[in-house]
Structure formats: structure tokens, C-alpha cells
Amino acid sequence: MMRNKNIFLQALLFCSSIFLCHCTKPITVNLPPDENRLVVEAYLIPQKRLAVALQTSAGISNTQPVLLVSRARVTISHNGITDTLRNSPYIDSANGRVYNYSSPVIMGTDYVNTYTLTVFDSTSGKLYTAATKLLPPVPIDSVNHAVNIDNEVSIGFVFTDPGAVNNYYRRFVFINELSTENRGNFRFTDRLFNGTAFSLFTRFIYKSGDSVTVRLYNLNQDYFEFLESINTAEDAAGNPLAQPVFAKGNISGDALGIFTALSYAEKKYIVP
Amino acid sequence: MLQLSSYGQQNKYLLQGKIITVAGVPVKNATVKITGGSNAVIGDSTGFFKMLLQAGVYKIEISSVGFKTKHTQLTVQNDTSVTLNLFEKNVKQLEEVIVVNDKNQPLQKVATTQMAVERITMNEAKLLPAIFGEVDIIKVLQLKPGIKSGGEGTAGIYVRGGGIDQNLFLIDGVPVYNPSHLLGFFSVLNQDAVNEVEVYKGGFPARYGGRLSSVLDVKMNNGRSDKIRVQGGIGLISSRISIDGPIKKNKHSFIVSARRTYVNLVTGLFNKTLPDSLQIPAYYFYDINGKASFKLSNKDNLSVNFYYGKDFFTQARTNFSNKLQWGNTAASTEWKRQINDNATLSTVAYFGGYQYRINNRFGVNNVSVGSDIYDKSIKSDISIKASDISTVQAGLQFINHRFEVGKFGISTTFSDLSTGNRITGNQMSAYILHDVAPTKKWRINYGLRYSSFVQNGKWYFGTEPRAAIRFAIDSTQSFKINYTKMYQYLHLVSTTGAALPTDIWYPSTAGVKPQNGQQAGLGYSRSISQNRFFINAEIYYKWVKNAVDLRDGANIFLNNNFEKEFVFGKAWAYGTEWYIEKKRGRTTGWVGYTLAWTWRQFDAVNNGKAFRPIYDRRNDISVVVIHKLSSSISLSGTWVYGSGNYVSVPQGRFTFQDITGNPQQIPVFTGRGNYKLPATHRMDIGLTIRKQKKWGEREWVFSLYNAYSRLNPLFLQYTPVVNAQGITESFKPELVSLFPILPAVTYQFKFK
């Protein structure tokens, strides 16, 4: 949520810059690269194809963008049925996500039973597993806006948090069309407002006449924590004030990545 | 030289010392006479003198041709070493520089059972070069063996492999929880308000407790009781002023000192001309110290002290703003009563604490985060001199801690929510110690501290034995050995090991056991060349049980349940420290060397393997030289070398598309402390020119920080390598250094 360590890093460098400079010097780090760990990225979204992206980690200074895995057996099991995903590229046209393992099977909507992923990596001979559930979406009650003195608009929305469980949310705000820019990526939990109505506003970056779509994901805890950990890891790579973090999700063994099911509620709004 | 009776006569102590000018030049053949008595000696050609005296308080007259006769008073309770200044008749005497019973004198250091202690007076600290010209006594302490800085230019200290949370920082007996400003670049100690600092690295006397690695005992100035004095300084980034003087002449006194930085005033001027998107963040801090001392009777003294300091960092734009404020508060009152000639009772009540607040505004959303710790305490100590060779001290303390943890609030047009936990805990302790010299060669200081802590019905108890033994080979050299055990009931929730304002103190609870540490040390001390040089060598081993750390990826923001973030393990450190100091003459200074190892091990961290924390520094060297060119000009230089810190760096990366479909490269960390940064070294040079004026005294202080502009690595960052399509392909490691050569000048003044 808030990057207070980044604020302190800015403060540190700001203070040093006042008193002449901070300097950087390239260096060679003689450490063995951490390579060839399996990385899984898989989202189960109702009405979308089953698809998984499999790659291996690369050395930190390796310039090859992605090291794809081609020799794996991938299955997703649910409610007694197992679907095998073939090494067949699939691109989600809605957002450009690329997967190298996919199945023509369309994901259903089941909020009760568990989905299980297995990946057998033929190269290493290791078997990896993960499990997730689809959570019901939390409806958006209303969308509204606020205007500042410069006539810039902030988009807000109100929703009612279910009180029985801990919820983890992610908000997107798309402008004009869903496939265009998402300016409202924000992650939060219900710790402060469990079981009550809550509202959240964007920055003042919209204007009168904009057509926006507010989307509220109801996330699994392990996906939320994975996102937190990778953000912290990104911070730590260039921040002496951040703690090193192992960006490990819910995949078994030494694999990295995440397997999660996603549901969301949406509401459109035209700024008057 | 007057011949004296044999040293070691029954019930007599050796008073010896040196007569020097304010420039440090020995005064030849000065006469030292006990007023009203028959004892008198004539010093030798090096200013050195000695005499045997029974225990007591003596009025002493020192005279020499061409110098003003000085009258002073000395208390002799054991072998005593002093340095006395004489002023030439044509030089106006502005400040009496007398060091009486100076614990820093080599013979005193050799004679005491205490080892692993460093003392610095503000007068010494002022002679050394300082970054930005800001004299900081804590940074001078970093030049002593076994005390390491947290990084370039910072005031945090790590003592014998202990974390920054394991230092008990006391200002006139009141703990200060975050003793630094500007993210650690400056300590909270204003040079005009501080008298001296003692740092115990081991062999802790039983009167101290609550932290595992060190005690920094800061003594503030009392203020003059004869007449009002105004002093201050104008520097590049801050100015300060101090007023002290009598409340009632020669009886009651006060001192008030204040300091403020003003970088924000400059950036504010720039901001008026800059567009919203380029607004420069504003930062400043201020602090105020005050003390009033009252002599209620010949036997009773009362003092009232306070400290208040605050830092502000503001980043303000039209659509968002970040405001951070943090600071310490401390207030105390102390009553000292001389019960009789052999017994003193001291009772202190204090209130102190630390708080931080962050207020973020983005759009119509306001988010605030904060945390507090506040203490209320009363303690009483009694010291009884049972005989000439035996002193007993005992004391009691009660502390009520109050923590506000995970304060968090959010308000929008439609919502206004806040949360946070209030936790209280009570800490109690009692101690007794006995310092005894059964023979001339042996001296023993042993004691026991018993502490307890209760939080929400959960009690913890700690038995903390302390012992220190000195064996004197003769009056100039001794061997020492010590053992201590300490309990620490408060823990710092910090993800960095650095001193961030947002680090949170958290008590021992049912789920968080207290840390306990033990340390053993062995040392050899020697005074050589007629007390001109002091040599000290020590080895130590320290081991900590229930050491506290945070699990990987711990979230300390927006979290009021830290207990699930803690992991528990062990830590150990060992090393040797070597020190030689020249105390006399126009050229003084020291050389210190530390060879040390520090380890930590937690089952839930680093795959259970032991790792080196960032403050594990194998070799540490410091060289300090102060040369008095004349009575008004002094030149100083320091050179420091430190092995590189161990840091955690990523060794891998992977591509993460996220549900947004925007690929990012995520670094993969594989372990803690897996990379050693290059070594650091630096030379600083200072020049102080003092001149007497009709209105008082002025000083120009010139300093050159990092004189040969060595770019010392502060940390290692991985910069993304972006291709033509704007996609990050890999990461490039770079060392980041903060300060090249930094000249500074400060103007200081003292009105009569």
C-alpha cells in the first residue's frame, strides 16, 4: 500500500543531494546467478481459457528477457475432472497476457470446490503443485466523484465488505474502455472496515465527460501476499532501507510464482 | 622535586598530575600547595607532580612565575590523576579547563575494574573535524574500538556486534528511543548542552540494565552559577544558541540550548519558482535542551531537565502530499542528598517517549500512520562508602511503558476509520554492587541485578549477575576480566537494521520472550611514559538467546499484530580491540583497531543458516590526531578504515506479467548478508581558530570531510536495464556513495 521506505530513500537521497551529490559507480558482483527455478503464473478467470505461463528464473544480470519452459506436463484439476494444458501459446486479447501452456476448456464459476495445479518439469524431474479457490465477487454499491478547485475529478466507489471473512481487494479504474489505461491500481485489505460499507477515491486525474469503469477484485490471501512480497522485493533491489524478500507464492517446492482464481465486480460511470 | 614518603602508605592515596597551559604546553617547576596545610610539591620540567594525601577534600593553590595563581578544590577518595591548566598573566581567563579525578587519565583507567568503556567530553569532541561542521559527540565515539557507525556520516552506533536496538541511550538518566535526526545523520545531542558521554561496551555495572549491548550515558551541562553566558554557532545547515547562568548567584543555575536546521527555508524559496510537479521536499529539525539546578542546602541538590526534539519532512503537491514528523520527549527531575560524608542518595523521576506520524493525502483520501512509546519511571540509588577500600551501591527502579502500536487512520468523503493497539507493560529492577580492593593489587566489582517485566498478566524475571576483577601488576599496568548478563524486554521492530523513524518499539508479551545476552571479556591496560600514553587491549565473546528478528517479508506498516512477524533465534559476536592514546603534549590523539565477527541464526530466516548482519565489520581502524599549533589554533585529522558491510543482494530475476499484462522484472533474493561491499576509508581534517574579543570569544571552525574524496559505498543498488521498447531486460549493479569531499565552515561565539 504505502511505500514509506521509498519515502525515506527519497529523503535520504534528497538530503545528500542538497549537500552536493550522491554518486553511483557500476560494479561487478561475483555471485553465482540464481537460475533455472521454475516460475509459475496462472490466473483462473471465469469465462476465460485455462492457461499457465511457465518460465525459469534468470540470473539478475542475464539480458535474455524470458526463459520459457517447454518440457513440462501441466494439469488443472477441479471437482474430479483433470484438464491437461498443452505447450500451446495463448494470448489474452483483453490485456495482452501471454501464456505458453493452455487448454481450450473454459473456466466455470464454482465458489465451493478447490482448483489444483500440477506441473511436472521433465527437465528437472520435479513435481510442483498448488491449489486455489474462486471467491465470490463483492458488489460495488455505487460510484461517485469529487472535484477539486482545478476542476480535476477523483473517482470514488462504495462497497459493503462481507464481515464473516478477511478480504483482500484490488481496485482497477479503467478510463473509457476496459482495454485502455488502468489508472487506479490499488491493493488493500478490510482490516479497518471489516463488515461495513467503505469508500475509496482515486487521485484527481479525471475530467468531466470521462467514462470510467471501476473494477473490484476479491483476491485470495496468498495472491495478495505474493503481490506484497514482489513489490517489497522490487524495492529492496535498490533500497538500503528495505528488507530482502523471498518472492515466493503458493507453488510447492522451490518454485516461484502464483496460481490463483480471480473474480471481480464492475461498475461504469460517466463523469458529469 | 620534593621527595615524598613511600607510595602505598596506609590510608593515603597518590595524587599526581600535570600542570599545563591551555595550549597543552607543560608548565615547568610549578608549585602545588595544599592551602592551610604543610603539603607542597614542586613539579618537574615536564609539569608533572605527585603527592600523597589522606582521603578528603582539599583546597589547592597552583602557582608559577608568569602565570596567574590558580585556586581549586580536589576530592581525593582513591589514587587520583588530574590535569590542571594555568593561564598566562597576559591571557584573559574565559573558561577554566580543569579535569579533576579525570576518569580518562591513563592511571585512572588502569586502576579501575571497569573495562570496555569509552569516555568523550564535548571539549575533546569539539577539536575534531565534523561533517557539515556539525560537532557530534556520537560520531567521535564511532572512532573508538568496538563502536561502529551505521554508514557514511551517520550517527547510529553498533557496539560489539549488537544491533542498534541494543543500545541504552540515556540523557541525564532518561532513555531516548530514537537518538538521531535526519535519518541518522545527526544525533539528538546539541554540542552546547552536552558535557560528556560514557559508553559501556561490556562489563556493565549492575546499576545499568534493559539493553544487551551498550549503555550510552550522556551528561548534560549544568550551566554556570556565577554569571550569564550566551554562546552559539552559525553553520551551513543549522544554527544553535545556548544561554546559561545563575538563577541565584553561586547557588542555582540554568541552561537552555536550542538548535534548528534551515535547509527547508532555502528549498522553500526555490519552490516558489518551480511548477507543482518539481516541488522539492522540505526537511528540517529542531531540538531544545534545558536544565535547572538548585542547591537546596549544603546536602541537597535538585535538578530539572528536559529535552524536546522533532523532525519534519514534507512533500507537497496539489494532488498528494506526504508529511512525516517524529521526535523524542524527555523530562526528569533528580534530587541528590548527601546523607553524610560517606553516603549519597539520588532519586530520579522521569517521563519520556518517542512518537512518529505519517500523514499521506492523495485526492480526497487521507491516510495516517503512527506509533508511540512513552515511559514513566521512578528510581532511587544509594551509594555508601563503607571504608576506604569498599563502596556499596544499590538501587530500585520502576518503569511503566505505554505503546501505541499500528496506529492507522483513513478518511475519505464517505468514510472515517481508525485503528491501533494500546499496550502497557511494567518493568521493575533492583540491584546491589560492591566495589572492594582487598589488597593493593586486587580490586573486585561484583553485583547482582534482578529485573522483571509484566505485560497483560505475563511475568518474566531476569537474574543478571555482574562481576569485574582487576589485578594490578603495579600502578601503571593491570589485567582485567569481567562477565555480565543482561535482559532486554523491549524490542525494535525494524526491517532494515538502520535507524528509521518508523521503527517501532514493542514489549515482551506472552508470545515474545525477552532477549538475554551474556558477555565475557579480558583486558590489559597500561600507562606508559609518565602517564603520557595509555594502551589498552581487550578480547570479548558475547552470546544472545531469544534474539529477535523479523521474518522475510514482514509487514510493519498497517499492522497492529507484530507478533506473527517476529522470529526468534540466537546471535553471537566475538573480537579483539586494541587502543593506544596519547594524552599529553601539543599533539594528542589515538589509534584504535578492532577485529570482530558477528553472527545471527534463526530457523525461519535464511533457510536456517547463520548469517552476517549488515553491521558485521571484520576490520575497523581509526586514527585521530589533534595538534595545538598555538594557544588559539588547533589542527586535527582523523582517518578511518572499515571492512565492507555485508548486504543482501538479489542473484536472480523473473518476468511477472500480473493481471494487468504489464511485464515487470522481479528480483529474486536467495539469502541474507550474501555480498560484502568494498571497504571504506576516509580522512577528515579540521582547523579551529579561536580569538579573544572584548565581548567574549569567537571561533572559526573549518572542516574538510572526506579530504581525498573517496567514494565510499553506502549500498548496492540494481538499476533496471531497459530496452528500446521500454521493457526491463535485466539489472545492472551499482554502488551508491553519498558524500564526496565536503568543506564546511562554522562560526561560533561565546559572550562574556
DSSP notation for B671-722: -SS-EEPPPEEEEEEEEEEEEEETTEEEEEEEEEETTT----EEEEEEEEEE
Query: What is the mean pLDDT of the segment spanning A220-244?
Result: 81
Q: Tell me which residue has cell 600514553.
A: B533
pTM: 0.82
Do A203 and B320 make contact, defined as CB atoms within 8 angstroms? yes
pLDDT of B539: 97
pLDDT of B74: 77
pLDDT of B98: 37
Contact A245, B565 (CB under 8 A): no
The answer to whether residue A91 neighbours chain B at the CB level (below 8 Å) is: no
CB contacts of B163 in chain A (<8 Å) are none
Do B651 and A192 make contact, defined as CB atoms within 8 angstroms? no
% of chain B beyond a pLDDT of 90:
43
- From the list A231, A11, A198, the residue with the least C-alpha distance to B555 is A231
Radius of gyration of chain B (CA): 27
Has residue A4 got a pLDDT over 60?
Answer: no
Q: To the nearest 10°, the Cα dihedral for B331, B337, B343, B349?
A: -20
Residue ranges of B 613-652 with Cβ closer than 8 A to chain A: 647-652
pLDDT of B382: 96
Please name the residues in contact with B248: beta carbons below 8 A apart, sequence gap of 6 or more: none
pLDDT of B93: 40
Mean of all residue pLDDT scores within chain A: 85
pLDDT band with cut points at 50, 70 and 90 for residue B501: confident
Q: How far is B121 from chain A (nearest CA, A)?
A: 28
Distance CA B94, CA B738 (A): 40
Query: What is the mean pLDDT of the segment spanning B230-246?
Result: 90
Query: What is the mean pLDDT of the segment spanning B437-446?
Result: 93
Please name the residues in contact with B351: beta carbons below 8 A apart, sequence gap of 6 or more: B329, B330, B331, B332, B374, B375, B376, B377
B155: left (phi over 0), alpha (psi -120 to 50) or beta: alpha
CB contacts of A132 in chain B (<8 Å) are none
Size of interface A-B (CB pairs under 8 A): 280
Contact B637, B591 (CB under 8 A): no
Has residue A126 got a pLDDT over 90?
Answer: yes
pLDDT of B495: 65
Has residue B383 got a pLDDT over 70?
Answer: yes
Has residue B280 got a pLDDT over 80?
Answer: no
pLDDT band with cut points at 50, 70 and 90 for residue B95: very low
Query: What is the mean pLDDT of the segment spanning B98-123?
Result: 74
pLDDT of B414: 61
CB contacts of B365 in chain A (<8 Å) are 200-201
Has residue B552 got a pLDDT over 60?
Answer: yes
% of chain B beyond a pLDDT of 70:
92
Of B183, B412, B734, the CB nearest to A24: B734
Do B554 and A243 make contact, defined as CB atoms within 8 angstroms? yes
pLDDT of B92: 42
pLDDT of A177: 64
The answer to whether residue B511 neighbours chain A at the CB level (below 8 Å) is: no
Radius of gyration of chain A (CA): 21
Do B319 and A152 make contact, defined as CB atoms within 8 angstroms? yes
Contact A100, A70 (CB under 8 A): yes
The answer to whether residue B750 neighbours chain A at the CB level (below 8 Å) is: no
List the CATH code of the domain at A140-218+264-270: 2.60.40
Has residue B256 got a pLDDT over 80?
Answer: yes
Most confident segment among B11-20, B444-453, B669-678, B729-738: B444-453
Is residue B268 within a helix (H) or strand (E), and if so which, with residue range? Answer: helix B263-273
Has residue A56 got a pLDDT over 70?
Answer: yes
Has residue B354 got a pLDDT over 80?
Answer: yes
Edge-to-edge strand list for the sheet holding B70-76: B40-42, B31-34, B56-63, B70-76
pLDDT of B96: 34
% of chain A beyond a pLDDT of 90:
51
Residue ranges of B 344-373 with Cβ closer than 8 A to chain A: 358, 360, 362-365, 367, 369
Has residue B657 got a pLDDT over 50?
Answer: yes
Residue ranges of A 3-32 with Cβ closer than 8 A to chain B: 4-5, 7-8, 10-12, 14-16, 18-29, 31-32
Query: What would the DSSP string read from start to end of chain A?
Result: ---HHHHHHHHHHHHHHHTS--EEEE-----------EEEEEEE-TTSEEEEEEEE-EETT---S-EE--SEEEEEEETTEEEEEBS--EEETTTTEEESEEEEEEP---SSSPEEEEEEETTTTEEEEEEE-PPPPPPEEEEEEEE-TT--EEEEEEEE--SSS--EEEEEEEESSTTS-B---EEEESTTTTTSEEEEE--S-B-TT-EEEEEEEEE-HHHHHHHHHHHHHHHHTT-TTS-------S-STT-EEEEEE-EEEEEEEE--
The total of other beta-carbon atoms located within 10 Å of residue B75's CB is 11
Task: Give the rounded distance of the alpha carbon of B367 from its chain centre.
Answer: 35
The total of other beta-carbon atoms located within 10 Å of residue B50's CB is 19
Of B132, B410, B657, the CB nearest to A19: B132
Reported as a single tens digit per residue, the pLDDT across A163-188 is: 888 999 999 998 876 555 667 788 99
Q: Mean pLDDT check: name the lowest of A173-182, B31-40, B173-182, B469-478.
A: A173-182
User: Quick one: cell of B339?
Assistant: 546523607
Reported as a single tens digit per residue, the pLDDT across B172-209 is: 999 999 888 876 778 888 888 898 899 999 999 999 99
Distance CA A50, CA B399 (A): 61
Query: What is the mean pLDDT of the segment spanning B386-405?
Result: 93
pLDDT of B109: 84
Q: Mean pLDDT check: name the lowest of A173-187, B8-22, B661-675.
A: B8-22
Residue ranges of A 105-144 with Cβ closer than 8 A to chain B: none
Looking at this protein, which amino acid is placed at residue B575? G
CB contacts of B318 in chain A (<8 Å) are 148, 150, 204
Give which of B364, B417, B493, B715 to mutate to test A binding, by max A Cβ within 10 Å. Answer: B364
3-state SS, residue B207? coil
Query: What is the mean pLDDT of the segment spanning A60-74?
Result: 86
3-state SS, residue B267? helix
pLDDT band with cut points at 50, 70 and 90 for residue B23: low
Do A233 and B666 make contact, defined as CB atoms within 8 angstroms? yes
Most confident segment among A106-110, B59-63, B236-240: A106-110
Has residue A21 got a pLDDT over 80?
Answer: no
Has residue B397 got a pLDDT over 80?
Answer: yes
Q: Tell me which residue has cell 550569564.
A: B228
Do B740 and A12 make contact, defined as CB atoms within 8 angstroms? no
Nearest C-alpha in A relative to B501: A8
pLDDT band with cut points at 50, 70 and 90 for residue B4: very low
Do B415 and A66 make contact, defined as CB atoms within 8 angstroms? no
Distance CA A196, CA B415 (A): 10
Q: Mean pLDDT check: name the lowest of A75-84, A144-153, B416-425, B554-563.
A: B554-563
List the domains of chain B with CATH numbers: 1-101 (2.60.40.1120), 218-751 (2.40.170.20)
Has residue B698 got a pLDDT over 60?
Answer: yes
Q: Are β-strands A256-261 and B194-200 bridged in parallel, bridged antiparallel, or unpaired?
A: unpaired
Query: What is the mean pLDDT of the segment spanning B426-447?
Result: 95
- Model ipTM? 0.90
Which string of b and e fits B565-591 if b means at least 16 CB within 10 Å? Answer: bbbbbbbbbbbbbbbbbbbbeeebbbb
pLDDT of B155: 65
Phi first, then psi: what are they for B35, rounded to 5°? -65, 130
Of A1, A11, A191, the CB nearest to B281: A11
Domain residues of chain A, as ranges? 38-135+220-263, 140-218+264-270
Distance CA A117, CA A41 (A): 11
Query: What is the mean pLDDT of the segment spanning B52-62?
Result: 80
Distance CA B402, CA B504 (A): 12
Mean of all residue pLDDT scores within chain B: 86
